[in-house]
Structure 1
């Protein structure tokens, strides 16, 4: 049996939050998905708790603090720097992808259009991170 995993989604779009919650509930009922609408709120929570998520899904385009700024803060903090961060964005711009990897994102996914395609995308994401976790558990 696969151990429970904890994920965090940082995304200001309420519709994308609902889609992600539904996808995780359907594909990984034993997983925990913590959702934050903004980077500052998520960073404050991460710094206040002893345990961190196994993987963070991070949107690029957010007000106040964009995903790249959140990623920079995560990687500057020695306690949070090793958390894998997967950028999950509607932007497939080459510059955004390059910036994400320059800032040490673990991966970059362009959000799939439509729920069925998004569900497949999240299923692939979960399969990968479960196998990665088991390899190092």
Structure 2
């Protein structure tokens, strides 16, 4: 049996975190979603001894204090998290943001759908892809 996909969502919007939780719960997919309301909270969570590492991180760009690019750079600098795939989940269609995300080694750039049903479909495809693409066991 395949172990559940462990996902960390970093987003300052309580509404967006709640919608993501609803989306993940409504799908019949073996996954675990953990949320963090800021980059600082996510980095502290990942730095906790014996904390399970996520298989993939969903990261919002537009956050106060530490934006998604700052978080992405910090993740890629830390030996424990540098190999974790990071998918930017955002509403920004700015070419500058897309280029910057990939320059900082984001694994993908996913535009948030504004409609819940379409968002559910995005999440379902996201889970299916990363379930197949992840490492079967942690090093």
TM-score past 0.5 threshold: yes
2:99 is aligned with 1:98? yes
The normalised TM-score by structure 2 is: 0.92
CA distance in 2, matches of 1:6, 1:49: 17
SS at match of 1:48: coil
Equivalent in the alignment of 1:85? 86
1:43, CA displacement in angstroms?
A: 0.1
Once the two structures are superposed, what CA deviation does each residue of 1:56-113 show, in whole Å capped at 9, x if it has no partner? 0000000010000000000000111001100000101100000000000000001011
SS at match of 2:124: helix
2:133 is aligned with 1:132? yes
CA distance in 2, matches of 1:26, 1:73: 32
2:25 is aligned with 1:34? no
Equivalent in the alignment of 2:120? 119
CA distance in 2, matches of 1:43, 1:49: 12
My pick for the range that moved more, 19-28 or 101-110, is 19-28
Unaligned segments of structure 1, at least 5 residues: none
CA distance in 2, matches of 1:9, 1:41: 11
Equivalent in the alignment of 2:67? 66
CA distance in 1, matches of 2:111, 2:31: 22
Q: Where in structure 1 do 4 or more consecutive aligned residues deviate above 4 Å?
A: none
The normalised TM-score by structure 1 is: 0.94
- Pairwise CA RMSD of aligned residues? 1.2
Contact 2:87–2:110 (8 Å) recurs in 1: yes
The aligned length equals 135
Contact 2:29–2:127 (8 Å) recurs in 1: no
